[in-house]
Amino acid sequence: MLEKANEYIRQNYIDEKEKPLFHVTPETGWMNDPNGFIYFKGLYHLFYQYYPYAREWGPMHWGHQVTEDLLKWEAYPVAMAPDQDYDHIGCFSGSAVEADGKHVLLYTGVSQKDGKEIQNQCIAIGDGKTYEKWQDNPVIKGDIMPEKFDRKDFRDPKIWKKNGRYYCVVGNRYEENCGQIVLFSSADYKNWRYEKVLLRNDGKNGDMLECPDYLEVDGYPVIICSPQNMHAQKYEFHNGHNSIYIIGDAEKEISDFAWEKKRNLDYGLDFYAPQTTLLPDGRRVMIAWMKSWDARVMTKGQKWQGMMTLPRELKIKDGKIWQSPVRELEKYKKNPTIYTEQKISGQMSLDGINGRVIDMTVEPTNVEGREFKVDVAHNEEYTTTFTYYPEKHQIEIDRTYSGVNADVVCVRKIEIAEKHHAPKLHFIMDRYSVELFINDGEQTASVVIPTPLEANEIIFTSDEAATVNIEKYEITFN
């Protein structure tokens, strides 16, 4: 099955000009959750849920790409295919660790027995390019958990090593409408024991907790997960599948976490299943699937579906996670255009402020009216609008006219955390996406747009006088 997948990719090559410049996309077909994000033998490795044969989800393989700088990615051969009895339904999400100089992938193998789906955790061991599944898989069976813990919804292991011992967290379902994150430990990554429940939701805030990640940021333990089927809670959480984090107790070896302390990770329209890794220089970096399960946002004739966010550096400040684009992006910023104390009245465009692969910061210093707008990927037919409402302390995202041709969510409102001044808006655009970092990353919003590339204007609008500072760079690998 591996060779079949790799041959299909070779025969169905998609021109890179049809894709984003620096965001990870599938070579062909479908992509979802990031998996196995790790630095190993001089390269950053990113695996992902992958179905090469169609633009829709199918039996899950593991795609594989590598990079030296987190921006210029190179596709490697498909790492895993669902070709064993214990994973014949799919090789679901997982993670990676370096062990004894080897590259170990820990993933969920999905199988079926007597008409019932079963999910267990398996390993594959490799050299950074080719991988062999362990002869004694699965290595973590649901049977080692307490009786009421579900065996069907038991997936997405995240592995790490601490003080000479391996740990992993796995998403699980407890009773019908209650998700939980379960902790396991091992001396050798092959023989595991159940430890405890790290987090259990209350059944009122979604159910299954997918893609858990246990990490440390600035000395604080953090749990990240993606609850399914949540209800909107004002501006903090939206309907459907969310991604949240909780900061734990720095005094404990392995922290517990309080569900009521949950916070949103991204306030945009397209963000799910984030995973982090620790870089050799100590930075904690996160990447996520820039898509929603319920949204189909593609250009006409697009031959692939799904992409990843820009990798983001994480910091803790004022009891919250702040995110910023990886600093490696700085070396690809060229041809600056800068406006200082620029007056905006009515609708205006500015010389040199345009493009679809750009880094642009818009910082209002004075907004006298009731709204200030930035329209990107704009022309007479298309636009995506970011509106700041000073009196409400809100930002509204609207991609209604971006070229969406399906019945998907197009508008989202964000309550700005910092209310004492107008927000600093940092836009990263890469052809078919916009990532907004608000107030140096105190909040973020990720949005996919299917707009034709000829729509490259940027328009500023203020219903009354506004003054702004603008700094725009092209992003190029040339």
Q: Which residues are catalytic?
A: 33
d(CA 463, CA 186): 61
d(CA 342, CA 427): 18
Helices and strands (H, E) in the chain, number of each type: 1, 31
Counted residue by residue, the chain has a size of 478
d(CA 105, CA 126): 8
Contacts 24+ apart (CB under 8 A), 134-143: 134/190, 136/190, 137/84, 137/86, 137/87, 137/109, 138/86, 138/109, 139/106, 139/189, 139/190, 139/191, 139/192, 140/168, 140/170, 140/184, 140/192, 142/118
The C-alpha angle 248, 289, 132, rounded to 5 degrees, equals 90
Q: Which residues contact 281 (CB under 8 A, 6 or more apart)?
A: none
The alpha carbon torsion through 448, 283, 27, 397 (nearest 10 deg) reads: 0
Letter string b/e over residues 198-207, b meaning 16 or more CB atoms within 10 A of that residue's CB: bbbbeeebbb
The DSSP output letter for 9 is: H
312 and 265 Cβ atoms separated by less than 8 Å:
no
Q: Which two tokens stand for residue 465?
A: 């006088």
354 and 474 Cβ atoms separated by less than 8 Å:
no
Q: What share of the chain is helix, strand, coil (3-state, %, to 5)?
A: 5, 55, 40
String of DSSP letters for 330-398: GGGEEEEEEEEEEEEEEEE--TT-B-SEEEEEEEEEEE-SS-EEEEEEESSS--EEEEEETTTTEEEEE
Give which of 185, 189, 462, 467 is closest to 346, Cα–Cα: 462
227 and 207 Cβ atoms separated by less than 8 Å:
yes
Specify the 3-state DSSP secondary structure of 259: helix
> What H or E segment, with its residue span, contains residue 6?
helix 2-11
> What H or E segment, with its residue span, contains residue 4?
helix 2-11
